[in-house]
Amino acid sequence: MKTKKSLFAVTKRELRRIFHNPAYRFLLLLGPIIGIGLLFFIFHKGVVKELPVAVVDRDNSTLSIKIANALDASSDADVTVQTPDIFKAREMLKQGLVEAIVVIPFETEKSVFQGIRAEIPVYINGTNVLKAGILQRSVLTTIKTISGSVQLQKLMMTGKNEEEAMARIIPVNIQRHVLFNPFTNYSYFLNSALMYVMLFLFVLLSSIYTLGNELKRGTGLDLLETSRNSVRLAIVGKLLPYTVIFSVFALSINILLYKIEGMPLNGNYLIIFGAQFVTILTYQLMALIFVGTTINLRLALSIASAYSMMGITFSGLTFPLEAMPKFAQIFASLFPFTWWQKLFISQSLRGAPLKEALPYICYILVFLLVSLCFMPFYKHYLENPKYWGKS
């Protein structure tokens, strides 16, 4: 009963502090809303479409017009420039106005129908790997299709029926089955991960801010008095309101992803929900590590920010962990986010069994346990004036 009462008292004290300091309001409300909201809008359109392409048509034939129209018709490319002047097209590529140049040389149509070698050179700006990949695939497919239709026309003239001709043009037909993310929507990968990065960043920073502020302002004794000298109650009482608020944010992210964006949920939602709750708790308590080792609010916040930002790259989201050097793979395991990300993708997209999720949750719990070891140190700092006041 007493425990409950002092826990309640600490939480009440914390709420008073939250209401009096705008920084708390930002960390708890405005920051996550702005961060998550901006990410939502950045990736809302989802797929990359209609990349600008220049067609240098020096043939000016029925075939060359057919090629330009076919390129324009595909959803990946948009023919924004048609010119016979290759230098003009190159200038536009240099200025970033077009992403690729398709050249149709002089007498292409004539050569094609006479059975003489006719090539279509395609130049793609490789600066952006994502755009270049999309364009390469799209332009090649379009031209291949036209090449195929020319071949079909010729084969049917030699007396083959359509089926025979098609078997000649495409001897092996490859059927693609896209598993787990049927829309191959790149934004699902980025958006889901980055929204959680945002969430966990604010979880960590707000916890460091509130725990560190007690030391900065020398209010540790007052805190311990409220919690009847129990550092455990003090920490739980202080962090409780944050746990509640950030869990609500986690739920909102789930709604944004699954309900509004239409991201597939192939696995068990309860595992995802449980795991995100555990990860929130872990990041909250990890504040003890940062505050405990630096005993300096500003330095703790600096290091924690750096740590959180690194977690994005090393979660293997944009560039897979398997492709990284061994050192980087080991380094990546030092971020709870890496494990969260594996769990989230495997549960949400791949619908993996619970068995696969459990080790990931255990790895996250390791961080939580290590954090708990810093509790006695934190109490020591709360009690001792010589650790106070360091900004």
C-beta separation of 122 from 113 below 8 A: no
Task: Kindly report the number of other CB atoms within 10 A of residue 373's CB atom.
Answer: 11
Q: How far is the CB of 71 from other proteins (least distance, A)?
A: 11
* Tokens matching residue 7: 């826990």
Q: How far is the CB of 376 from other proteins (least distance, A)?
A: 25
| Among the listed residues 5, 60, 133, 372, the single contact to other proteins using CB under 8 A | 133
First to last CA, the chain: 37
Q: Name which of 77, 374, 354 is nearest 212 in CA terms.
A: 374
69 near other proteins, judged by CB under 8 A? no
363 near other proteins, judged by CB under 8 A? no
Binding mask 278-307 for other proteins (x = CB under 8 A): ------------------xxxx-xxx-xx-
> Which residue stretch of 170-178, 228-236, 251-259, 363-371 sits at the interface with other proteins (rule: CB under 8 A)?
170-178
Q: How far is the CB of 171 from other proteins (least distance, A)?
A: 4
| Among the listed residues 116, 270, 358, 366, the single contact to other proteins using CB under 8 A | 116
319 near other proteins, judged by CB under 8 A? yes
308 near other proteins, judged by CB under 8 A? yes
- Helix, strand, or coil here: 99? coil
Q: How far is the CB of 286 from other proteins (least distance, A)?
A: 16
Q: How far is the CB of 197 from other proteins (least distance, A)?
A: 6
| CB nearer to other proteins: pick between 125 and 243 | 125
Spell out where 13-62 has E strands: 51-57
381 near other proteins, judged by CB under 8 A? no
> Which residue stretch of 36-44, 219-227, 236-244, 277-285 sits at the interface with other proteins (rule: CB under 8 A)?
36-44
C-beta separation of 242 from 284 below 8 A: yes
| Among the listed residues 196, 242, 283, 314, the single contact to other proteins using CB under 8 A | 314
Backbone angles phi, psi at 130, to 5 degrees: -65, -50
Please list every residue from 237 through 256 that binds other proteins, using CB under 8 A: none
49 near other proteins, judged by CB under 8 A? yes
81 near other proteins, judged by CB under 8 A? no
> Which residue stretch of 12-20, 45-53, 81-89, 274-282 sits at the interface with other proteins (rule: CB under 8 A)?
45-53
66 near other proteins, judged by CB under 8 A? no
> Which residue stretch of 4-12, 242-250, 350-358, 376-384 sits at the interface with other proteins (rule: CB under 8 A)?
350-358
Secondary structure (DSSP) of 4-17? HHHHHHHHHHHHHH
Q: Name which of 240, 206, 291, 287 is nearest 26 in CA terms.
A: 206
28 near other proteins, judged by CB under 8 A? no
Binding mask 325-344 for other proteins (x = CB under 8 A): x-xx--xx------------
Q: How far is the CB of 386 from other proteins (least distance, A)?
A: 18
Binding mask 85-114 for other proteins (x = CB under 8 A): --------xxxx-----------x---x--
| Among the listed residues 81, 150, 240, 370, the single contact to other proteins using CB under 8 A | 150
143 near other proteins, judged by CB under 8 A? yes
Q: Residues, the chain, total?
A: 391
Q: Name which of 70, 60, 58 is nearest 150 in CA terms.
A: 70
Q: Name which of 291, 278, 280 is nearest 374 in CA terms.
A: 291
Who contacts 167 (Cβ-Cβ below 8 Å, separation ≥6)?
A: none
197 near other proteins, judged by CB under 8 A? yes
Long-range contacts of 232-237 (CB under 8 A, 24+ apart): 232/375, 233/3, 233/6, 233/7, 233/10, 234/10, 234/382, 235/211, 235/285, 235/288, 235/375, 235/378, 236/7, 236/10, 237/6, 237/7, 237/8, 237/9, 237/10, 237/11, 237/13, 237/14
Q: Name which of 284, 296, 299, 291 is nearest 378 in CA terms.
A: 291
